[in-house]
Amino acid sequence: MHETAIAESLLNLILAEAAKHKGRPKTAKISCGIFHAVNDDVLTFAFEAIVKGAPCEGMKLEIEHKPIQARCRNCGYVFELELAAPSCPNCGSDFDLLPDEPLVLEQIEFETE
């Protein structure tokens, strides 16, 4: 279950940032591409289990899934790939998939005292 490893890495990053900012984390937002996708429920469960007793216990984890991007081989148009219509929406030609978005810790919100 790779979500547990992801949760542990997130906790380490969040705790490091909390120490720098001398604050208590309230929410964290991560994003990932479709192919790097995580199971939201499993990741949330793993994160909540790992943070018990940590300074960020009770914080909210937000997960955003980025769509698949493609570039048309003919006109160069970059677009979000629709699986129901797998061709360039601009000219109807074939396309190449662009690299998937990595899993990124986008933002941490801290409680102010």
Write out pLDDT tens, residues 4-31.
999 999 999 999 999 998 889 999 999 9
**Would you say 70 and 97 are in contact if contact means Cβ atoms under 8 Å apart?**
yes
Please state which CATH number belongs to domain 2-111.
3.30.2320.80
At residue 34 the predicted structure's pLDDT band, cuts being 50, 70 and 90, is confident
**Would you say 14 and 108 are in contact if contact means Cβ atoms under 8 Å apart?**
yes
- Domain limits of the chain? 2-111
**Would you say 31 and 65 are in contact if contact means Cβ atoms under 8 Å apart?**
yes
Report how far residue 78's alpha carbon sits from residue 88's, in angstroms, rounded to the nearest whole number. 8
Summarised one tens digit per residue, pLDDT across range 44-54 is 999 999 999 88
Summarised one tens digit per residue, pLDDT across range 47-77 is 999 999 888 899 999 999 999 999 999 999 9
Q: What is the pTM of this model?
A: 0.79
Query: Which distant-in-sequence residues (6+ apart) come within 8 Å of 47 by Cβ?
Result: 7, 10, 11, 61
At residue 42 the predicted structure's pLDDT band, cuts being 50, 70 and 90, is very high
pLDDT of residue 95: 96
pLDDT of residue 106: 96
The residue-averaged pLDDT of 33-40 equals: 84
